[in-house]
Amino acid sequence: MNLEPGSPFAANRAFVYHGAMMYSINRMAFAWMCVTLLAWAASASAADEQATGGRVPTVTRLVKMFTEQETALASAIRAGDPSAVERLLTDDFEMRMGAMPANPVPRSEWLSEMMRTRKPGDDVSGMAVHDLNGAAIVSFVQGRGQTAIFVVDVWRAATNDWKLAIRYAAPAGSAAFATPGAGATTPPVIPKKY
């Protein structure tokens, strides 16, 4: 420790007895501990967000499994790892959006855009999975409010894995939006937990 005149710690010379000096050292040790704790808290918080990767409670086995698949895809996009993303896509993957249903976004363009932005979308919620023997229809909402997107992913069973074949995406809209088949007959939802 530098206690020479002019050094940041020169004031310590003013202490005339050992107890005062130890008081100063205790303060420094405490400050060091606080800095360490703050650094730990920041890293732990970041790790927490990364590890959980979403806000979807696991419900059915398939919901849990495809939550992990979607999380793996999102993580690969965030990491800017095209190989990892491609391993999760079929060769003929495409995305279709509600605003231009007859003009799909081809695999290469979708991948290029994802690698450029590294933004896979907001948190996933409300997932449902329909198992159609070899294809799984996975629906969910990304984000909340007016910018929420309703996504339907079609995953195809591969040899030992599942690969994303088609993504349909459109603004989630609102329940008040007139959709044929949905309306006044929809029963009220009883609050419940899975």
Partner 1 sequence: MKTRILPQLVAASVACLLAGAVNAAGVLAPDDDEDDLVPNGKGWGERAYPTHPNGNGNGQAGKGNPSGANGISYHGGPLILGTTNVYYIWYGNWTGNSATTILTDLATNLGGSGYFNINTTYYNGSNTHVSNSVHYAGSTTDNYSQGKALSDGQIQSVVASAISSSRVSKDTNAVYFVLTSADVTATSGFCTQYCGWHTHGTISGSDIKYAFIGNPDRCPSACEAQTTGPNGNAGADGMASIISHELEEAVTDPDLNAWYDRRGMENADKCAWTFGTTYQANGAMANVRLGSRDYLIQRNWVNASGGFCSTTY
CA distance 33 to 27: 10
- Contact between 10 and partner 1 by CB under 8 A: the answer reads no
Choice between 93 and 140, CB closer to partner 1 = 140
CA distance 28 to 16: 18
DSSP 104: E
b/e map 39-56, b = 16+ CB within 10 Å: eeeeeeeeeeeeeebbeb
Binding mask 41-70 for partner 1 (x = CB under 8 A): ---xx-xx--xx--xxxxxxxxxx------
Which stretches within 79-127 are classed as H helix? 82-87, 107-117
- Contact between 88 and partner 1 by CB under 8 A: the answer reads no
Q: Please list every residue from 140 through 159 that binds partner 1, using CB under 8 A.
A: none
| CB of residue 113 to partner 1, shortest distance in Å | 27
Interface with partner 1 (CB under 8 A): 21-22, 25-26, 29, 32-33, 36-37, 40, 44-45, 47-48, 51-52, 55-64, 125-131, 187-194
